[in-house]
Amino acid sequence: METTPLNPARRRLLAGSASALAAAGLGATGIAQASDAPAKPPAPAAKPLPPYAAWKDADSVIVHTPNTIETKRSAFGDGIITPTRQLYVRNNLPPPNPSILDDRDAWTVEILGVKQPRTLTVGELKTLGVETMATVLQCSGNGRKFFPHKPSGTPWEVGAAGCVMWTGVPVRALVEYLGGVEGSPSFMTGTGGETLPEGLDPKTLLVERSVPREAMQDAMLAWEMNNEPLTLAHGGPLRLIVPGYTGVNNVKYIKRLAFTAEQSPAKIQQTSYRMAAIGSKPGPDNPSVWGMEPKSWITAPGADRQALKAGRAVVRGVAFGGMHAVKRVDVSIDGGKTWKQAALIGPDLGKYAWRQFALPVELSAGQHVLVSRVEDSEGNVQVEARVENADGYVNSSWRDHGLTVNVS
């Protein structure tokens, strides 16, 4: 499993990237959604699930490409935890060979930037401690479909998100075991274990993400998702979970976790996942896509476009604060003109989980626009308008996420 050393001096710059990609079979399916390829709406005919995710529930998902699979708005249910069979998939590269799951406990991860740097197996990690937590996992580009300038990348609507239960060892327990962080590094940098094609500058494709060091406080190296050993599609045998941060920061197949002075030099850190003005070329000076914003959307009724009858109905949806707990959710059935507070239903799984909400309403005949708006414990309210940006990241607009239903 080749990974790029953090030391930039050891990197090779090679010509012929495009042909190398093609040779590695990473063309259309592998990285189209990570590259600057033009946005492609999902084809009208349902695409088949790729082999590594063949066990997903085909009725609950929209297959955009083999590496981008979205949960349907109507398939979230009201039980908080998104079943693994329904959870979205978004891989920046094709997953490693499934044989890496043959002996899960033998997978190794190198820990650097601590007083006693070393490589540990998953088997060893399991002897250090165990925690379980629920987090919202959301692709940075979820909601991209609503950007009118048609940014490159997958046109996700609401379904590149789920609420997932993770089990693993807290990063802080691991760091403590290794003597603590060395010095005062500003970042925690995780490196994915995807197989990189030969003959190409690894930094072009390597999945290596840096987040502010403080994120280590709640981060975890997880080997279980929703009570089952972590699947290949979702980063098994070991994944870095950084609660509150968008999906890409939760590095799959993690091979190295380092406390570093600088952010990763990989392209995915330097120029991708940056909030840049439309028309400009994103770069390291633009803000990185890290923490999530307060966001909510309606999931029922009418998300599957079934005919609705006038009368009583219960409007439901999901809401999260991103970095903070949900305080309240308001719902409007007239597109935001008037609002009523919804009830939060079900147990509270912690500040990084989402809450499900419900509001009984009377729906009259005609067209209604159902919208929701969440406020977090710090008083931050979900924005009405998206923050425009070149690549269409972090769309939290309540107006964009409205659900139009026809009632007869």
The distance of closest approach from Cβ of residue 161 to a copy of itself in the complex, given in angstroms and rounded to an integer, is 14
Single out the residue of 161, 355, 146, 159 nearest to residue 246, CA to CA: 161
What SS3 class is residue 25?
coil
The distance of closest approach from Cβ of residue 163 to a copy of itself in the complex, given in angstroms and rounded to an integer, is 9
311 scored as a contact of a copy of itself (CB under 8 A): yes
399 scored as a contact of a copy of itself (CB under 8 A): no
Q: What are phi and psi for residue 270, nearest 5 degrees?
A: -80, -45
205 scored as a contact of a copy of itself (CB under 8 A): no
228-247: contacts with a copy of itself (CB under 8 A): 228
- The site that binds a copy of itself (CB under 8 A) totals a number of residues, namely 42
What lies within 8 Å, CB to CB, of 207 at 6+ separation is 92, 93, 191, 192, 194, 248, 251, 252, 266, 268
Single out the residue of 207, 167, 165 nearest to residue 189, CA to CA: 207
Question: Which one of residues 58, 276, 314, 325 is an interface residue with a copy of itself (CB under 8 A)?
Answer: 314
Residue span binding a copy of itself (CB under 8 A) among the ranges 14-22, 109-117, 197-205, 350-358: 350-358
CB closer to a copy of itself, 250 vs 269: 250
Question: Which one of residues 1, 58, 77, 117 is an interface residue with a copy of itself (CB under 8 A)?
Answer: 77
The distance of closest approach from Cβ of residue 177 to a copy of itself in the complex, given in angstroms and rounded to an integer, is 10
Give me the helices (H) in 111-262, please.
122-125, 171-177, 202-205
Question: Which one of residues 63, 358, 383, 403 is an interface residue with a copy of itself (CB under 8 A)?
Answer: 358
Question: Which one of residues 53, 80, 120, 394 is an interface residue with a copy of itself (CB under 8 A)?
Answer: 80
CB closer to a copy of itself, 3 vs 135: 135
78 scored as a contact of a copy of itself (CB under 8 A): yes
Question: Which one of residues 7, 184, 312, 367 is an interface residue with a copy of itself (CB under 8 A)?
Answer: 312
CB closer to a copy of itself, 127 vs 186: 127
User: In the numeric block, which tokens belong to residue 371?
Assistant: 């919208």
CB closer to a copy of itself, 203 vs 324: 324
CB closer to a copy of itself, 242 vs 359: 359
393 scored as a contact of a copy of itself (CB under 8 A): no
CB closer to a copy of itself, 53 vs 383: 53
CA distance 247 to 242: 9
What lies within 8 Å, CB to CB, of 344 at 6+ separation is 326, 328, 329, 355, 356, 357
Q: What is the DSSP string of 30-91?
A: IITTTTTPPP-PPPSSPPPPPGGGTTS-GGGEEEEETTEEEE-GGG--SSSSPPTTTS-EE-
CA distance 102 to 393: 36
Question: Which one of residues 11, 17, 40, 131 is an interface residue with a copy of itself (CB under 8 A)?
Answer: 131
What lies within 8 Å, CB to CB, of 153 at 6+ separation is 33, 34, 39, 141, 144, 391, 392
Residue span binding a copy of itself (CB under 8 A) among the ranges 150-158, 241-249, 283-291, 347-355: 347-355
What lies within 8 Å, CB to CB, of 48 at 6+ separation is 63
Binding pattern for the stretch 136-175 against a copy of itself, x by CB under 8 A and - elsewhere: -----------------------------xxx--------
How long is the chain? Answer: 408
CA distance 175 to 213: 12
The distance of closest approach from Cβ of residue 273 to a copy of itself in the complex, given in angstroms and rounded to an integer, is 28
Q: In which residue are the tokens 């990763």 written? A: 264
Give me the helices (H) in 165-235, please.
171-177, 202-205
CB closer to a copy of itself, 127 vs 341: 127
CB closer to a copy of itself, 23 vs 130: 130
The distance of closest approach from Cβ of residue 361 to a copy of itself in the complex, given in angstroms and rounded to an integer, is 10
84 scored as a contact of a copy of itself (CB under 8 A): yes
Sign of CA dihedral 357, 358, 359, 362: positive
Cβ distance 390 to 279 under 8 Å? yes
Calculate the alpha carbon distances from 41 to 44, 63, 154, 157, 218 in Å.
Answer: 9, 11, 8, 11, 36
CB closer to a copy of itself, 211 vs 233: 233
The distance of closest approach from Cβ of residue 244 to a copy of itself in the complex, given in angstroms and rounded to an integer, is 15
Binding stretches for a copy of itself (CB under 8 A) = 76-84, 86, 126-134, 165-167, 224-228, 311-314, 316, 345-350, 353, 356, 358, 360
